[in-house]
Amino acid sequence: MKRKLICTLVGAAVMSLAAGQSFAQKAPAVKLSGDMVKIGVLTDMSGVYSDLGGQGSVTAAQMAVDDFKAQAKPSWKIELVYADHQNKADVGSNKAREWYDTQGVDMITDALNSAVALAVSKVTLEKKRMLIDTGAASTRLTNEDCSPNTVHYVYDTYALANGPGKAVTKQGKDSWFFLTADYAFGHSLEKDTSDAVKASGGKVVGAVRHPLNASDFSSFLLQAQSSKAKVVGLANAGGDTINSIKAANEFGLTKNQTIVGLLTTIIDIHALGLPTTQGMMFTEGFYWNLNNDTREWSRRFFGKHKKMPSMLHAGTYSAVMTYLKAVQATGTDEADAVMKHLKSTTINDMFAKGGKVRADGRMVHDMYLVEVKKPAESKEPWDYYNIKAVIPASEAFQPMSLSRCPLVKK
């Protein structure tokens, strides 16, 4: 009786040892803080950017986690948390701090709104974690305020300004007039675009400044109309862009001139409708109807979110997926190691083809110059764009030679 028991015990011990060994051989040992990977989606869920990121970003991140679990079958746990930063830098930074300090969050993503993004980037550096920003537009994230722990993933104002500046000008629309929101953001959009226009052989015939949140654009648009420029560039954002597009349509500006939005997304087009926006041109980092991969993913996303993805949503999916793959490859969630891996690999998925993370933290990938279809050309809901040009990754973003980031060795 006793012997039998000992035999069983020894047998069980041997078995478990063997099982443990075979397990250890199958997957490389993964060392994780808090025994899991925790990802935080910090976004605006109630304010002006909630359609651009918001709940859609959370859905996209969750899809990435689910897909990764299904594909890679990791032996470790992945958890997703999210918060609404209400477009307040103090709420965002406080939440990020709390996540890092008390909840063991390893990586934060989305972080739209430049003030929030910059604040969270500082906290992230202090706490030695990771920020993969898919939402903010400011180039400061990869220039003056660049950080070894931050990746800027989807777009920035340089890419949005530079793309149309070059590509539209090269298509023969070579004289530009700007409608610029009168503060730093608008000025930098105008300057970046003007530089690209001039470098491509075009000319800038004038510009008019309007105050932030202007309600009446008629006098500004009349100036734009009388300038006879072939292109009217809108160096503004949000409600100002929407109002200027509406007014431009009412004034019949669109008959002879092309409107180029410098911060316009599919969300704006969907809100304004094709009759108002037809013929507009701008740059996007992603379009759902680009190829089979994007269509397949976007339809799945549509099934959950009931809206087609913006470039932020697709970017957030890609960022979370890329991050999880990097954790698996390096066997750790320690920021330095994961970052090193990210900067040495090429990102290939439905969002980015041949995407690369540069030393300054900028993820470079192809951008697309799109033209809004006429209502008659649109065959199905959300069928909005004709792709006019693909701006290759090497040209789309600010060249490293112009970088003001201290991490870049020149």
Chain residues binding other proteins by CB under 8 A are 45-46, 50, 54-55, 58, 81-91, 93-95, 97-98, 101-102, 114-115, 118-119, 122, 138, 140, 145, 182-185, 211-212
Kindly tell me which of 90 and 383 has the beta carbon lying closer to other proteins.
Answer: 90
**Amino acid letter, residue 343:** K
Q: Which of 109, 162, 154 minimizes the C-alpha distance to 132?
A: 109
Q: Are 348 and 95 in contact (CB under 8 A)?
A: no
* Shortest reach from residue 149's CB to other proteins, in Å: 14
* Shortest reach from residue 101's CB to other proteins, in Å: 7
Kindly tell me which of 122 and 388 has the beta carbon lying closer to other proteins.
Answer: 122
Per the listing, tokens 């008629």 go with: 218
Kindly tell me which of 157 and 193 has the beta carbon lying closer to other proteins.
Answer: 157
* Shortest reach from residue 29's CB to other proteins, in Å: 32
Q: Are 338 and 327 in contact (CB under 8 A)?
A: yes
Kindly tell me which of 105 and 369 has the beta carbon lying closer to other proteins.
Answer: 105
* Shortest reach from residue 45's CB to other proteins, in Å: 4
Question: What H or E segment, with its residue span, contains residue 221?
Answer: helix 218-226
3-state secondary structure of 229: coil
Kindly tell me which of 87 and 276 has the beta carbon lying closer to other proteins.
Answer: 87
* Shortest reach from residue 265's CB to other proteins, in Å: 18
**Amino acid letter, residue 370:** V
- Compute the CA torsion angle 123, 365, 344, 81 (nearest 10 deg): 40
Q: Are 285 and 370 in contact (CB under 8 A)?
A: no
* Shortest reach from residue 206's CB to other proteins, in Å: 21
- Compute the CA torsion angle 163, 166, 169, 175 (nearest 10 deg): 90
Q: Which of 208, 285, 223 minimizes the C-alpha distance to 253?
A: 223
- Compute the CA torsion angle 152, 382, 164, 147 (nearest 10 deg): 0
* Shortest reach from residue 207's CB to other proteins, in Å: 16
Kindly tell me which of 44 and 334 has the beta carbon lying closer to other proteins.
Answer: 44
Kindly tell me which of 184 and 376 has the beta carbon lying closer to other proteins.
Answer: 184
Kindly tell me which of 29 and 184 has the beta carbon lying closer to other proteins.
Answer: 184
Kindly tell me which of 90 and 377 has the beta carbon lying closer to other proteins.
Answer: 90
* Shortest reach from residue 189's CB to other proteins, in Å: 12
Find residue 210's DSSP bridge partners. Answer: 181
* Shortest reach from residue 308's CB to other proteins, in Å: 19
* Shortest reach from residue 348's CB to other proteins, in Å: 32
Kindly tell me which of 138 and 162 has the beta carbon lying closer to other proteins.
Answer: 138
* Shortest reach from residue 83's CB to other proteins, in Å: 4
Q: Kindly give, in sequence order, each residue whose CB lies less than 8 Å from that of residue 200, ignoring residues fewer than 6 positions away.
A: 165, 166, 169, 170, 174
The strand pair at 107-110 and 346-347 is best described as: unpaired
- Burial category of 26 from C-beta neighbours within 10 Å (exposed 0-12, middle 13-18, buried 19 and up): exposed
DSSP string, 28-75: ---B-GGGEEEEEEEE-SSSTTTTTSHHHHHHHHHHHHHHHHHHH--S
Kindly tell me which of 214 and 363 has the beta carbon lying closer to other proteins.
Answer: 214
Per the listing, tokens 């560039």 go with: 233
User: Is the four-CA dihedral 325, 408, 396, 311 of positive or negative sign?
Assistant: positive
